[in-house]
Amino acid sequence: MELLDRDKIASVEKEIHEFIHSWGEGWSPREEAPEFQRERFTPFYLQTKELLAFDFTDAQSRTVFKGSKIHADTWEKFVRNFRYWTFTPVVESIRVYPHADNAAVTLYVDNYGKTNDGKEFKARAHATLLLEKHNGKWVIVHENIWGPVNE
């Protein structure tokens, strides 16, 4: 395992913070939620059967996603159930654990949505991500999102 010097660590952390910001924007169609397209978020994920995600929204939902297709199919449909949707990483909560071409990240994300009948969905969730660099770009290879957070 390659050890990183202080400057390289700072550079990797900056890249990952930018990645996390873009990832949140990809998941935040706002008033375009009913037309949400998976192409907004798929560039942030490994696009193979090896993608593994543990995501929790409620007791009736699928919680284990093995492969990029089931992940995209499920979440595209979920977001389309809202007339407004945002997924906002909480910047001050981001912790990056960098290595050469991979990293672990922990953070909170604030989810906010409104359904067609005006009901609001608000939940802070905890996320743990494992990222790898593929073709010079970071991608999520493992995602674990759990909420709501009760501290």
pLDDT in tens, 23-39: 999 999 999 999 999 99
Q: What confidence tier does 59 reach under pLDDT thresholds 50, 70, 90?
A: low
Q: What is the pLDDT of residues 80-118, one digit of tens each?
A: 999 999 999 999 999 999 987 899 999 999 999 999 999
Residue with tokens 């073709």: 135
Cα(89)–Cα(92) distance, rounded to whole angstroms?
9
> Domain 6-146 falls in which CATH fold?
Nuclear Transport Factor 2; Chain: A, (3.10.450)
Cis peptide before 148 (omega within 30 of 0): yes
Cα(35)–Cα(81) distance, rounded to whole angstroms?
10
pTM metric for this prediction: 0.91
